Amino acid sequence: MRLFTKKLKSKNKNTKKKKKRRKGRTFKNPSDVKLFYRMPLLLAIGIVCVLIGIGISWNNSKNYKTELLASSMPKGTDLPIRKGTSGEGHLKLGNSLLSSDGKTLAVEISYDDTAHNSLSSFGTNYKLDLIDTKSNLMTNAKVSYGMFGTDGSGVLQIHSESGFKDKAFMIFLIDKGVIVTNDKLQLSHTMTDSEIDQSLAKQLEAVENSDGTQESSSEITLPPTYMIRLNAHNTQKAPRNWSNDSELVSDLFVKKNLTKIDKNVQDIKAKIKSANKSLSEMTKRLEKNDKDSTAQSNKQTLESTLNQLEESLDSAQKNYDKLSKTTIGDNILNPKQTDFKKFTVTDINNVE
C-alpha cells in the first residue's frame, strides 16, 4: 500500500512538472508568417513614400517653372540676336536700376567698337517692340530708348504706372539700317517700319500656333533683332525717382563708373608702392655688390613695370577727371525713340 502511495505521489509530481513546462512555453510564429503580418504596414509606408516623392517632384517643377518665367538676363550678357547672328556688332546688358517708386526700369545697353561703326548713335533710328504675356499684360507701359553721346551706351527705359509684376518680359531692339555699307547698298530691298511690324507679328503668330521651332521659308527675314529679357524685381532700387536724363544717367552708370575707375586708381597706386619698395631693395643690393646678376635682372624688370604702371595711372586719372567734370544735360539722351509696338504671347520662353 505504501509502495502504491509513493508511486502515485511520484506520478502526480511528474504531471505537475509537465504542466508547469507547458505553461512556460511561448508560441513562436514562423518567419513567413511574421512577414505576412508586416506586409500591410510595409505597403502603407511604401504608398506614403511614393506620395511624398510625387509631392516633392510637383513642388520642384512648380518652383522651377516660376523661376523660369521670372528669370531675366544677368548683367554682362551679350544680347542674343533673334533668328541667327549678324556682323553688326555686339550689344551687352549693362547696369540696371529701378526707380525709388518702382515704376521706371532703366537699363544700360553697351556697344562694342563694331556696333558703334554699324549701328546708329541716335535713339530715334531704332525700332522698339515690347513682348509681354497673357499672365503679365503691360497695357499701360511706356518704352523709350536714347543714347548717351555718340560713342556711349544706350539707355532703355520702361515705365509702368502700376508697377511691375515679378515676371519677365522682353524688349526687341531693331536698328533701322541708317548706316549703310557697300554690301548693304547692293541689296534690292530695305524693309519699312510697317513691313517689319507685319513680319514680326507673323512670326510671333507662328510661335503661338506651334512650338516655335519651324519657320516658313517664304517669310521675310527681319533685320538684326536684339532681344532683351528683363524683370524689374531682379534689379536694385535707385535712391530716387528720376526727374530728368541727368539724374538717371548719373545713377545708372556714371557714379558706378567713377567708383570703378577710382578703385582701379587705388589698385595701381598700391602696385606702384610695392614695386618701388622692391626696386629700392634691388638698388641697395647692387650698391653692395654690383655683380649681383639677380638684382640687375629684377631692377630692369621692375623699372619697366613701373613705367607701365605710371602710364596706366595717368590714363585712369584722366578718365576719372574727365568723367567727374563732364556736364550731363537734362536731355542728354535725346533724341529718344518713344514709339513702340506691343505683342502678347502665351509663353515668353518660346520667343526665340
pLDDT for res 57: 65
Residue 20 phi, psi (nearest 5): -65, -40
How many whole angstroms separate alpha carbon 104 and alpha carbon 96?
Answer: 11
Supply the DSSP string of 106-139, one letter for each residue. EEEEEE-HHHHHHS-SSGGGEEEEEEEETTB--T
Helix-strand-coil split of the chain, %, nearest 5? 50, 15, 35
**CA-CA distance, 308 to 317, in Å (whole number)?**
14
DSSP E strands, the chain: 91-98, 104-111, 126-133, 142-147, 154-159, 169-175, 225-230, 341-345
Secondary structure of residue 228 in the 3-state scheme: strand
Q: Which residues, 6 or more positions from 297, have their beta carbon under 8 angstroms from its beta carbon?
A: none
Q: What is the pLDDT of residue 188?
A: 41
> Which band of pLDDT confidence, cut at 50, 70 and 90, is reported for residue 206?
confident
pLDDT at 301: 93
Tens digit of each residue's pLDDT (9 = 90 or more) over 266-287: 999 999 999 999 999 999 999 9
Mean pLDDT of 143-152: 91
- Cβ neighbours of 59 (radius 10 Å): 10
pLDDT higher than threshold 70 for residue 17: no
Mean pLDDT of the region 203-221: 60
In the block, which residue shows the cell 513702340? 340
pLDDT tens for 162-201 read 999 999 999 999 988 666 554 554 444 466 777 777 777 7
Q: Which of 351, 309, 347 is nearest to 69 (CA)?
A: 347
Supply the pLDDT for residue 198: 76
pLDDT at 178: 61
Query: Is the backbone peptide bond immediately before 239 cis, with ω within 30 degrees of 0?
Result: no
Burial class (CB in 10 A: 0-12, 13-18, 19+), 323: middle
Q: Say which amino acid occupies 21.
A: R
* More confidently predicted of 88 and 294: 294
Q: Contact, 92 vs 77, CB < 8 A?
A: yes
Q: Are 171 and 106 in contact (CB under 8 A)?
A: no
Identify whether the C-beta of residue 82 lies closer than 8 Å to the C-beta of residue 203.
no
Model confidence, pTM: 0.69
* Confidence at residue 31, expressed as pLDDT on a 0 to 100 scale: 60
Q: How many Å apart are CA 62 and CA 81, to the nearest integer? A: 29
Provide mean pLDDT across the span 276-300.
91
pLDDT of residue 341: 93
For residue 132, report the phi and psi dihedrals to the nearest 5 degrees: -110, -175
Task: Evaluate whether 253 touches 261 at the Cβ level (below 8 Å).
Answer: no
Cα 140 to Cα 79: distance, rounded to the nearest angstrom: 26
